[in-house]
Structure 1
Amino acid sequence: MKKIILLSLIFFALLAGSCKKALDVNSTRVVNEENFWNTIEDARAGIMGVYGLTRAALADNNGHWIYGDVRMGSFASPIRQDLKAVIKNDLTAQYPVVDALSNWRRFYAIVNAANIFLERIHEVRDNDARYIQNNMDVDVAQVRFLRAFAYFYMVRIWGDVPFITSSRDGSFENMPKSDGRAILEFVQSEMAAAAEVLPYNYSVGDIQQPGQYYNESSSRWNGALVRKISAYSMLAHVAAWQGKYADVSVYTKFVMDNYTRGSIGYSDTQFLTQRNGLFYDKRNSQILGFGFIWGHQDATFTGNIESLTLAEPVVNKALPDIYLTKDSIIGIFKETNDARFNIDTTGVPHSDRYITNYQGKYPIFSKIKVMQDGSSDPTFRIFSSTIVVTRLEDITLLRAEALAVLGEREGAIAALNIIRQLRYNVDNVGKATEGNTYQAYNEAKSGALIDAIFRERQKELMGEGQRWYDQVRYQRIKQSDPKFVALLNNGGIYWPIAQSVLAQNPKLTQNSYWK
């Protein structure tokens, strides 16, 4: 399997390289395309390649977390000037990491690989009787979703971007930017179409995917592939970014009504934060995740949140690249009996699941800490955590957000309290203590409902690449921070486009805020 993924990554990376003008990559071919789209093995390699390119795009230069958690977030950096620039929103600062993250090339590699797959996969169906129609339908649905996901990711980062839905045999003319709003309509349509075809799980006799998927048992695919619940969950995020909260309500209700059909569940606090817990390996409850699987020899020293956040005494590294200051920690974790982190009146922590070394100079954010195989040599800095894009707790709080905006207060509080019941007034394994009333939402103590929901999202999803996008949505709703509202109004929420991309394509213009 590892060989298939490696070959497909090489193949599609080289095909992406042919799109010189659109993607800013030099044209290179070493694989004979005419001999590729013939067998079911080619189909499997092709789809795994699109997954691999998606994971690579998120992990490159730790982009998923720098975009989502570091930019104008709660983290500080002790020594890295490039990360300090991102924290301050100085995104034209001359640092290699900032420049690399301004370049959309790796996301267009996903788009191009997906376009080629969608154009050529019928050839496998024509040439190999083993590749049945249902197999192709499910494969196409996954690839359509992944292409839409790549566009959603780009629109959130850059706003308007070039819109390409054809490989055109690897020879593209320079393309101008298209309206990001129109692209999101395409994204929503594609994800919805994919959701109709995708199964709840693979290789379990689902009516939409009968039999064994690529002759593998369900244990091979659990949590590794896009499923129906994955698609509806991301549809909720797309709709929330568009401000379509009625749609968010519909999509999140589908997830809440059907998540058990996908073998998905909530995570108690201990499982969420232990080394071999939710973020280890591939699990159905990740809903949508891209794994660095230890058993597949995928562990790495970078491209994981741990490479930014962990240091002594958790791993053998002197200083973290980013950390939470004590003022930030106290400001975020204000409520008592929070199983994620809380301190008593004397300043002594009662939980270290999220924060280790609180009394030290640099408190260590240790919520996600998957070293090696999740158990052996827990201080050695090779990481195998999954990039979890969304999970059930996220969707539950997104539903609370939508219902609050729509004025459905009772439903919003009920959704918020599902999470609070998991995290407050709990015993030492993060479960509600028998006979103990959990700490339900109380406006007198927790403030306005929408504020409480976003604070809960900040705590629950910390380190999962969500915070920046949450701040954007919150300020669109509340308009309470004049500086942030100015960013919204002037296009400052988007990243600048890399100068190398602008130089390659004269039809592009720099995003207005960064001119």
Structure 2
Amino acid sequence: MKNMRFNTKISFFRIFSGALILTVLMSGCNKKLDIDSTHLVNEKNNWKSITDTRSALLGTYGLLRAAMADKNAHWLYGELRNGDFQATSRLDLKAIIGSNLNAPYPVVQSLSSWRRFYAVINSANLFIDRAHEVMALDKQYTEKNYQVDIAQMHALRAFAYFYMTRIWGDVPLIKSVNDGSFEQAKRTPKEDVLGYAESELLKAVQDLPYKYGDIFDPVFPGLYYGQGIAAWNGVLLTKVSAYAILAHVAVWNERYIDASGYARFVLDNASKAGSSYMTTALLTRVDGFFYDKNTNQIFGLPFAWSDREASLDGHIEDLTLAAPLVVRPVPQMFMPDQTILSIFDEDKDERFSINAANGRAVTDYFTGFGSSNTIFSKVKCIRNASTDGSLGLFSSAIVFTRLEEIALLYAESMAVLDNMDPAIDALDNVRLSRGLPRYTGPNSGVLDAIFKERRRELMGEGWRWYDQVRYNRIKKSDTQFNKLISTNGIFWPISQDVLSRNSLLVQNEYWR
């Protein structure tokens, strides 16, 4: 490893040109589930050295980040439908908020296409299929390095399938580059897809380290691709990351006993991966949790300023920030003051509360509350943690999960299983860290309190819609929402472009 010369900066997109990314993500062919046949690493020529595996590995992460960032997809999928935000003027955002997902707006139509997620899966499949060849050609690429890399590809593929299942329900299950069903594939029942994702993650966790580049890591001690901890923190999937995703796979599949076990592993082992509960200040600072890459991001995809990865879009700031924070008169989406007051209705909540003495808002989540232009500013990572918004380049990570989120997921699992003491303890861990007292209500109100806390704590992180789905599956008290669940109206329609390229695909029943 000592002869290897690697750039000390980790950048997903410097591996290949922007034009190639655009070709992979956006171009289509009439076969292969609408995936372009061009691969990030040339199949014939570039599986020869350890630098090729590194490029392919980071390229797959880059494709996942692009899939979630494109058109600000992560937040449009997770925050808008039946959510707390309202659109200022954009008709496409208003269509999503109103569940008009067949609306003829380019952004809505783009979000209906799953091609960018299959680009991730295709890249992972290719890596799994070809990476073993490098071991025979480059002795620097060791068996252990190969095992860790393959584990990440299994985990990334599993995450992509889980993410798609939440959006579209049944999706085609493609397990190999050379799978004979690849060209014309039917949709696989969502339960089977989730089962496959779970099996992939369980396979991966055996070989995933807690920390990459750590000489004391029990799974993979020593440098990883010639680099130490600082280069990899918050960049790659760890053992704790995989268990966090497992917890979500199980919960989405309504298997709460398994979910509680997976989430408990995360809570018990988070410190081994460098994760901990955060103060409200650390969560919301310009140079805090969302900035750059760090171990508190249990699974995140960074846009690190230090690696020259900041961008104009692919960040919630692009949707929510406005003057005086950036040069934009009004945000593209906002939260009405009355909604904020109804959500944050407890005194001394550090995220938002009203000072009883003077009636003013005390908040780390909003700017300008009570004015004509209240700004959601919980996430505000501008360039190198700057407060100068004259150039709106953003450097916040796309964060899928963190310790507070998993604590509340564990609390949810325990409450569903009618195990209230650990549910309340986990809930209180989050409440206490936000300046609130312990929960003292009845056991019958614990589940509502947990989902209310998720609504506050995870605001703007892409959870609101999925939380509503899970809550209504459990409570079954909202007739209209549960009808939406029973008729698969919770899922997005499949774009006509995708349907036209595969005659075996059938539109989601709700959208026919």
Class of the TM-score when normalised by the shorter of the 2 chains: over 0.9
The equivalent residue for 1:483 is 480
Letter in 2 for 1:485: N
Count of residue correspondences = 501
Query: What is the deviation of 1:258?
Result: 1.1
The equivalent residue for 2:15 is 7
Matched, 1:474 2:471: yes
| C-alpha contact 2:499 2:505 (8 A) present in aligned 1 | yes
Letter in 1 for 2:266: V
Alignment of 1:219-238 (within 5 A): 219-238=230-249
The equivalent residue for 1:430 is none
Matched, 1:214 2:257: no
Q: How many angstroms apart in 2 are the aligned matches of 1:116 and 1:170? A: 15
| C-alpha contact 2:28 2:34 (8 A) present in aligned 1 | no
The equivalent residue for 2:430 is 419
Tell me, what secondary structure is at the counterpart of 2:331?
Answer: coil
Letter in 1 for 2:211: N
Tell me, what secondary structure is at the counterpart of 1:338?
Answer: coil
Letter in 2 for 1:112: N
Alignment of 1:166-205 (within 5 A): 166-168=176-178, 172-205=182-215
Letter in 2 for 1:76: Q
The equivalent residue for 1:154 is 164
The equivalent residue for 1:252 is 263
Which stretch of the first structure deviates more once superposed, 327-336 or 5-14?
5-14
Tell me, what secondary structure is at the counterpart of 2:400?
Answer: strand
The equivalent residue for 1:64 is 74
Closer, same or farther: CA 508–352 of 1 in aligned 2, 3 Å: same
Tell me, what secondary structure is at the counterpart of 1:388?
Answer: strand
Query: What is the deviation of 1:449?
Result: 0.6
| C-alpha contact 2:222 2:228 (8 A) present in aligned 1 | no
Q: How many angstroms apart in 2 are the aligned matches of 1:107 and 1:264? A: 28
Which stretch of the first structure deviates more once superposed, 1-10 or 330-339?
1-10
Q: How many angstroms apart in 1 are the aligned matches of 2:415 and 2:11? A: 48
Closer, same or farther: CA 14–300 of 1 in aligned 2, 3 Å: closer
Letter in 1 for 2:255: K
Q: In structure 1, list runs of 5 or more residues that go unmatched.
A: 426-438
Q: How many angstroms apart in 2 are the aligned matches of 1:59 and 1:376? A: 23
| C-alpha contact 1:18 1:29 (8 A) present in aligned 2 | no
Tell me, what secondary structure is at the counterpart of 1:342?
Answer: strand
Letter in 2 for 1:70: L
Alpha-carbon deviations, 1:355-394, whole Å to 9, x = none? 1111122311000000001135245311000001000000
The equivalent residue for 2:386 is 375
Q: How many angstroms apart in 2 are the aligned matches of 1:82 and 1:347? A: 40
Alpha-carbon deviations, 1:10-53, whole Å to 9, x = none? 76876776864233245557974211000000000010010000
Query: What is the deviation of 1:350?
Result: 3.6
Closer, same or farther: CA 34–27 of 1 in aligned 2, 3 Å: closer
Alpha-carbon deviations, 1:148-182, whole Å to 9, x = none? 00000000000001111111299942111111110
Q: How many angstroms apart in 2 are the aligned matches of 1:32 and 1:270? A: 46
Which stretch of the first structure deviates more once superposed, 142-151 or 8-17?
8-17
Alpha-carbon deviations, 1:52-87, whole Å to 9, x = none? 000000000000000001121100011011000100
Tell me, what secondary structure is at the counterpart of 2:44?
Answer: helix
TM-score by length of 1: 0.93
Closer, same or farther: CA 66–300 of 1 in aligned 2, 3 Å: same
Q: How many angstroms apart in 2 are the aligned matches of 1:256 and 1:172? A: 39
Which of 395, 398, 423 matches 2:406?
395
Which of 291, 309, 312 matches 1:301?
312
Which of 73, 81, 99 matches 1:89?
99
Q: How many angstroms apart in 2 are the aligned matches of 1:300 and 1:104? A: 23
Alignment of 1:275-294 (within 5 A): 275-294=286-305
Which of 114, 119, 129 matches 1:104?
114
Q: In structure 2, list runs of 5 or more residues that go unmatched.
A: 1-6
Closer, same or farther: CA 98–76 of 1 in aligned 2, 3 Å: same
Alignment of 1:453-468 (within 5 A): 453-468=450-465
The equivalent residue for 1:494 is 491
Q: How many angstroms apart in 2 are the aligned matches of 1:32 and 1:262? A: 34
| C-alpha contact 2:361 2:369 (8 A) present in aligned 1 | no
| C-alpha contact 1:18 1:171 (8 A) present in aligned 2 | no
Closer, same or farther: CA 198–338 of 1 in aligned 2, 3 Å: same
Q: How many angstroms apart in 2 are the aligned matches of 1:273 and 1:250? A: 30
| C-alpha contact 1:20 1:172 (8 A) present in aligned 2 | no
The equivalent residue for 1:315 is 326
Which of 50, 53, 63 matches 1:40?
50
| C-alpha contact 2:303 2:396 (8 A) present in aligned 1 | yes
Q: How many angstroms apart in 2 are the aligned matches of 1:281 and 1:486? A: 41
Closer, same or farther: CA 52–3 of 1 in aligned 2, 3 Å: closer
Q: How many angstroms apart in 2 are the aligned matches of 1:280 and 1:170? A: 43
Tell me, what secondary structure is at the counterpart of 1:146?
Answer: helix
Structure with bigger helix share is 1
Q: How many angstroms apart in 1 are the aligned matches of 2:252 and 2:100? A: 23
Matched, 1:54 2:64: yes
Which of 260, 268, 283 matches 1:272?
283
Matched, 1:74 2:84: yes
Which of 438, 441, 444 matches 1:440?
438
Alignment of 1:338-377 (within 5 A): 338-344=349-355, 348-375=359-386, 377=388
Alignment of 1:118-157 (within 5 A): 118-157=128-167
Matched, 1:263 2:274: yes
Q: How many angstroms apart in 2 are the aligned matches of 1:358 and 1:447? A: 34
Q: How many angstroms apart in 1 are the aligned matches of 2:40 and 2:57? A: 19
| C-alpha contact 2:292 2:396 (8 A) present in aligned 1 | yes
Closer, same or farther: CA 170–509 of 1 in aligned 2, 3 Å: closer
| C-alpha contact 2:300 2:399 (8 A) present in aligned 1 | yes
Percentage of matched positions with identical amino acids:
46
Alpha-carbon deviations, 1:445-477, whole Å to 9, x = none? x97110000000000001111111110000000
Which stretch of the first structure deviates more once superposed, 373-382 or 287-296?
373-382
| C-alpha contact 1:15 1:29 (8 A) present in aligned 2 | yes
Matched, 1:504 2:501: yes
| C-alpha contact 2:33 2:502 (8 A) present in aligned 1 | no
Q: How many angstroms apart in 2 are the aligned matches of 1:40 and 1:29? A: 17
Closer, same or farther: CA 284–174 of 1 in aligned 2, 3 Å: same
Closer, same or farther: CA 95–230 of 1 in aligned 2, 3 Å: same
